[in-house]
Homo-oligomer: A and B are copies of this chain.
Amino acid sequence: MAEGLSAAISEARLGRAEGGIPIGAALVVDGKVIATGHNRRIQNESSVHHGETNCLENAGRLPASVYARATMFTTLSPCDMCTGAILLYKIPRVVVGENANFYGGEDYLRQRGVEVVVVDDAECRQLMADFIEAEPALWNEDIGV
């Protein structure tokens, strides 16, 4: 588990270094990180490349059998869109870095049979808290507020 979260955090930090929103994700299959991604709202002027969706895009076109063995690691509780992407591809397990700064679709994921593990990682929390304090308008835009 440590490797997946660590890869997601590296992506979040990379996003921040690019001037973007510090949310990262990693897709792990059979114990290996097969793709990573991060929020690209600023970098790509994108409204749909969040951490998890960008990671899925970077993973390429995968058969359902691969998603069925996957765990999605994300530094922050997944928003409704990323929740839906996880459900679309029937990814059975999601590891969430933190949900103190934002609480997304965890209840709905569980209701739909997805295992959700919340790590409550201090680094993830700090990354988001610092960003939200520095860029509240940008953060609100990212979550549709």
Residues of chain B within 8 A (CB-CB) of A82 are 84
A61-88 CB contact bits vs B (8 Å, 1 = yes)?
1111001000000000001111111011
Could you tell me how many residues of chain A have their Cβ less than 8 Å away from some Cβ of chain B?
35
Q: State the CA gap A115–B140 with chains docked (Å).
A: 24
How far apart are A31's CB and chain B's nearest CB, in angstroms?
Answer: 22
Residues of chain B within 8 A (CB-CB) of A84 are 79-85, 87, 105
Residues of chain B within 8 A (CB-CB) of A88 are 79-81, 143-144
A interface residues, Cβ below 8 angstroms from B: 41, 45-49, 53-54, 56-57, 59-64, 67, 79-85, 87-90, 105, 108, 140-141, 143-145
